[in-house]
Structure 1
């Protein structure tokens, strides 16, 4: 009984502490998606020919995912899969926009930005979206700020 009560108090304390954490306790999340960037093109990956000091600093002070692979061969499906956290083939976004594919992301998909906003994060998207306009526009898909094309 004593062990169970102690364990319950410890768990309750941990839960209370996790619910009272301030916004400063949340880690910053930065995702960089670059079309056609080869593995060895950054200084943090061993390239000494082209200086990439800011990217190198981010890599040095953060978490690097060095064994990740995209789940699609084109830019729009890759972005769709990343934004949804799902294989894009499962929701019909297998090609770049054109005759064989819709020109939008699909409003049924929840984005990583939606989930981060629900967790209390401020979100921004800058650069190439390539997932459509209208209801698929980044500002309607969970991003607070957007500047790009």
Structure 2
């Protein structure tokens, strides 16, 4: 039960933060990405603000092996920069630049986003369903470095 309450509170804070910061406004995100045009630097403050709590969480997690809910904490992510990371980052960036949304803000915008957003979320979910097969294919094509 504690895990569900924490998930509800975390998701609520995250969604509210996305909305208040303007991350659900595709024009604001695309303005951030338009570095050679009418660049909008305000999104840097949102990203910087997100780095503070995650930095604190990583620092605290080094001293603990379980979460507040008693479940084991996952190991730190790999710091290796490989072909898969670069390819995934490029694909994510293309989608983010074309639409102006990434998964969190897209889901937070579902209640008012309109038909274009529904198509984006459907395509995103389709990509998530296809990801395991694509990952296996990529693992065969690009061996570990």
- Give the TM interval when normalised to the shorter protein: under 0.3
Higher relative contact order (CA 8 A, sep 6+): 2
The structure with more strand, counted as a fraction of residues: 1
Normalising by structure 1, report the TM-score.
0.23
Q: Which has the higher helix share?
A: 2
